[in-house]
Amino acid sequence: MSPEPLRIAAYYAPAAEDRLAEAAASWLGRDAASGAMRTQPDLPDIAAITADARRYGFHATLKPPMRLIPGAGFADILAATRRIAAGIAAFTLPALSVQAVHGFVALREQTPCQALQDLADACVGGLDPLRAPPDAAELARRRRSALSPLQDAMLQRWGYPYVFQTWFFHMTLTCRLEEAARAAWIDAARAHFAAALAQPRRVEAISLFVQDEAGAPFRIAARVALSG
């Protein structure tokens, strides 16, 4: 029997046949579904700029990476995710665009989407009984970002500061950048993703990403179809 993963996360990720999945795999240099490395665009320092995003895989966070409580395993997360997905219908994703997000370059929706918020809320609440609480070191690391009182309260209750009222949809493309460099990378990303972003897409599944051991890249272990 395969060992249980170190951490598990519930994400939105585009379907394999979506042009956005291919464009993102090329941009980041890795396909989180297959694990295959990809040739990146010929841009200075792109391997370093995308290193963290490459390790986590192209995604939008629904339930952030978590360790499981003792006795729980991937099968339990899969079953819980299926229960969540059974109550949520697939929906159209608003058009995405390349934007600056807290110093990073990321894809964000161009219009508000309550269905996205509802999906994230359902994943946070529905999977939380299987989450082991963060240790002191993780709490300290999260608090280095100067959290607001509400964000700190979310961290203490849910193990992550950006959930429910503080959650926002984003698909990270770079590390944090200085303003001048960020503008250049926004232009480069807009050119790279233009064709993919011109296509409509739907949110049809919750993707479970796993990290097998410390420092390992996250990979897609299952896609659970929304069937509500």
Task: Give how many domains the chain has, as a whole number.
Answer: 1
Mean pLDDT of 152-160: 94
Domain contains 1: no
Please write the tens of the pLDDT for every residue from 91-146.
999 999 999 999 999 999 999 999 999 999 999 999 999 999 988 888 888 888 88
Burial class of 145 by CB neighbour count within 10 A (0 to 12, 13 to 18, 19+) = exposed
Domain contains 90: yes
pLDDT of residue 2: 62
Domain limits at 198? 7-225
Domain contains 2: no
Domain contains 56: yes
**Alpha carbons 107 and 95: distance in angstroms, whole number:** 10
CATH number for the domain spanning 188: value is: 3.90.1140.10
* Ramachandran sector of residue 179 (left: φ over 0; alpha: ψ -120 to 50; beta: rest): alpha
Domain contains 177: yes
